Amino acid sequence: MPPVTKPGREKYDIVFIGGGSGGVAGSRRAASYGAKVALIEATDKLGGTCVNVGCVPKKIMWHAADIAEKIRHAEGYQFKGPGIGNPQFSWSTFKPQRDAYIRRLNGIYDNNVAKEGVELHHGKARVLSPSSVQVTRPDGTTYTLNTDRVVVATGGRPTIPSDDEIPGASLGINSDGFFDLEEQPRRVAVVGAGYIAVELAGVFHTLGSETTMLIRGDTVLRTFDPMLGETLTNWMKHTGINFRHGAHVKKVEGTKGQELTVHLESGETLKVDTLLWAIGRHANTEGLGLEELGVKLDKKGNVIVDEYQETGVPGILALGDVAGKALLTPVAIAAARRLSNRLFGGEKFKNDKLSYDDIPTVVFSHPTIGTVGLTEPEARKKYGDENVKIYKSSFRALYFSMIPEEHKEPTVHKLVCVGPEERVVGIHIIGLGSDEIMQGFGVAVKMGATKADLDNTVAIHPTSAEELVTMR
């Protein structure tokens, strides 16, 4: 069902701005309770970052890279024949295939929104008051939606330095641009050490691009448990990814889409075909008119909200990446659904809200990472060294038993426990299958599991996951 071209109602119960994960989830949940709902999306595609230029196409690219690794490993399992041990990946034919799947998802999102009775509007939104939102359509015409509440769920976008800050910075691409690449670059430099930098560098490298990471510190993933960053950095180096530590880009020269020369402050230069900036993200709050209405933003431009997603201006709420906390798709979805539950779900949900504690997440690196709860330094700071006990195990997954030593990925599992009851407040794992292992153990941490609870669970053998219930 295409977007409407004018308001279908005189007044709505709630208007969601932003057709990404949070806006779609919240609008559908509100409509399921019978609320009169409008959803405004500036682009012609629903799904936001996650569906279009984030989680979904990223995971598809990770799967492609994972298959390349499996083809290299196949020799160890005595597979023979053309291509074994030497994968040949066609980026140029895979991209349109991947894009077609994403377009199919866009259509599913459109159908789901229409099925719930959400009125979809295509245009740029500006909040005129807590009870009115102006929509500017692509042709420049405007109209106003009257509403009881407004929810800002406009997400965020990748940050790139300006050419004033770093001359030639715009010759590089960001994570959005990664998905626009028609051909696989032969040489790549990735600036950044966070999970987006790690994931995309891993895909490039595993599919055969010569990859260099430009990072400021000693390890990647500095906000994660130190064990994870140290283990992954060492393995990435072992596999052939080049690292420049303490690296600061001074300027970039060349022509976009052709060879670039990256000048570092150290005096070193790098010749690359693609420079990818993965140095963070910032909120999409410009042009919404929020500050004029008294909505407070922090210094990064994120909307400041309380535990109920309220901005402090009655009738205006915000959730998801635009609120700057736990920038993850499932977080936006969970916050949006709970908000709609609270507003329209009746007595049962009158106090519903999302707890931002113990949110599990994974990094689709090579190997994958799973993490939930407090890091070891966070636990020691919160509870004191004397009240923290660490359980740790390092091993190689059985899968690698048939594979040459130099290709055996590390697996490390860590439990962070506190108090005499040894309550598990953090689990951090890296190694084959960590992405799928983490969800179930996230439930355990959320329920307050102790080390004894894990010990009392019978192991599943032979798996990597069993190590988490057999550590001593």
* Residues listed for the chain: 472
Rounded CA gap, 167 and 459, in Å?
A: 56
Tokens 């159908």 correspond to 111
Tokens 């990435």 correspond to 236
Query: Which two three-digit tokens encode residue 4?
Result: 């409407």
Distance between alpha carbon 121 and the CA centroid of its chain, in Å?
A: 26
- Is residue 73 annotated as a catalytic residue, yes or no? no
Which helix (H) or strand (E) segment holds residue 454: the answer is helix 451-455
| Closest to 388 measured CA to CA, from 424, 413, 353, 352 | 424
Contact criterion met (CB below 8 Å) for 375 and 416: yes
DSSP code, position 103: H
DSSP code, position 37: E
Rounded CA gap, 411 and 367, in Å?
A: 8
Rounded CA gap, 104 and 108, in Å?
A: 6
Given the residues 73, 121, 248, 461, the one annotated as active site: 461
Partners of residue 136 on adjacent β-strands:
124, 142
Query: Which two three-digit tokens encode residue 317?
Result: 């709420």
Rounded CA gap, 74 and 344, in Å?
A: 54
| Closest to 317 measured CA to CA, from 349, 353, 287 | 353
User: How large is the C-alpha radius of gyration of the chain?
Assistant: 24
Check residue 313 and give left, alpha or beta (phi > 0: left; psi -120 to 50: alpha).
beta
Neighbours of 424 (CB within 10 A): 27
**C-alpha distances in Å from residue 346, one per residue of 13, 84, 308, 339:** 15, 59, 16, 12
Active site residues: 461
